[in-house]
Amino acid sequence: MPHVRSSAILLAAILIAGSAAFSFAQSDWQKTYPVSAKPSLTFTTGDAEAELRSCGECREIRIRVQWNGRNPSDFPITEAQTGGHVSFEMRERNRMHIMMGVHHSPQVFIEAPAAIDVEGRTADGSLHVSGVHGELQFHTGDGSVDFDDCGGAVRLVASDGSIRMHNLTGTLESRSSDGSVRIDGQFSGIQVHTSDGNLDIALSDGSHLATASRIESSDGRVSLHLPRTLAADLEIHTSDGRVQCDLPLTMEGFNSKSDSGHNLRGHLNGGGVPLSIHTSDGNVTIDAMHPGERHEHP
């Protein structure tokens, strides 16, 4: 009996220790970095969803990792702060293990001042960015991209996943490989390319193109919504598809030979910087945004 009792006590102690270790493993990782003036941030995440949002005029960057049932030891974190610059990196270890039940990825939540320069990279997981303005550069691997109320100089390279950007301001450069793209905002320059997917782009009232702009889809239709007051030298080409432009256009040339696709050149409101729309396989449609109208994606 004493031996049985001792074994039971030992087993209970092991279970309690294991439970405590499990509870500790599930606690969020979090850290706050005080910053002043306009800070900068670089972050890299592995198999995790990432969300960056503004905390307004706060003077700190807050990062929190929610493990969602995953083992934190599988995701080593490297972080540092030098002056106003914060760097954060979380990568998944290459381990052979079996995941039982539903697989959930960790989530990385970042809050930062509205005015900030950011360089972010995600490997596998969605990215959501809202309310920040500055030099914003992102590179995503596999996962959807969602931007709201951002501005400055925005650059995005996305490999696989849909892209939605709402109410952007400034300039945009976006390249994606596979997935639909929906963008609206007030732009001074825009460069958008997708290898496979439809493009739906709206330049809101007040947009004024100051640099040559290009919108291109290798395989998919292009729908472009422009202010009636936008001045640009318009050039449209589709290899296999029709062209429809509902805006008043001073024609400079039109070519619809079967061996060269459909080509249209003309001037909007007297002309301005070049605005090129190209698609290899898909229709091109251009229509008007009315003054004060905001283009809402479904």
- The 3-class SS string of 50-83 reads EEEEECCCCCEEEEEEECCCCCHHHCCEEEEEEC
- Structural domain includes residue 141: yes
- Structural domain includes residue 167: yes
| Full domain range(s) for residue 130 | 33-94+102-289
- Classify burial at 96, counting beta carbons within 10 Å of its beta carbon; exposed 0-12, middle 13-18, buried 19 or more: exposed
- Structural domain includes residue 24: no
- Structural domain includes residue 231: yes
Question: Whose CA is closest to 294, among 191, 149, 178, 97?
Answer: 149
Show the tokens assigned to 36: 């002043």
Cβ atoms of 169 and 185 within 8 Å: the answer is yes
Could you give the CA distance from residue 88 to residue 275 in angstroms, rounded to a whole number? 38
- C-alpha distance from residue 291 to each of 103, 155, 223, 263 (Å): 47, 27, 19, 29
Q: How many domains does the chain have?
A: 1
- Structural domain includes residue 283: yes
For residues 181-208, average pLDDT = 95
Cβ atoms of 27 and 104 within 8 Å: the answer is no
Residue 5 pLDDT grade (very low, low, confident, very high; cuts 50, 70, 90): low
- Structural domain includes residue 64: yes
pLDDT in tens, 241-255: 888 899 999 988 777
Could you give the CA distance from residue 163 to residue 180 in angstroms, rounded to a whole number? 6
CATH label of the domain that carries residue 267: 2.160.20
Residue 30: per-residue pLDDT: 97
- Structural domain includes residue 15: no
pLDDT in tens, 230-287: 999 999 998 888 888 999 999 887 776 656 678 899 999 999 999 999 998 889 999 9
Residue 26 pLDDT grade (very low, low, confident, very high; cuts 50, 70, 90): low
Residue 296: per-residue pLDDT: 56
Could you give the CA distance from residue 96 to residue 70 in angstroms, rounded to a whole number? 14
Tell me the pairing of strands 151-160 and 133-142.
Answer: parallel
- 110-146 in b/e form (b: 16+ CB < 10 A) is bbbbbebbbbbbbbbbbbbbebbbbebbbbbbebbbb
- Structural domain includes residue 51: yes
Cβ atoms of 114 and 56 within 8 Å: the answer is yes
Residue 294 pLDDT grade (very low, low, confident, very high; cuts 50, 70, 90): low
Cβ atoms of 183 and 222 within 8 Å: the answer is no
Which phi and psi angles does 265 have, rounded to 5°?
-135, 140
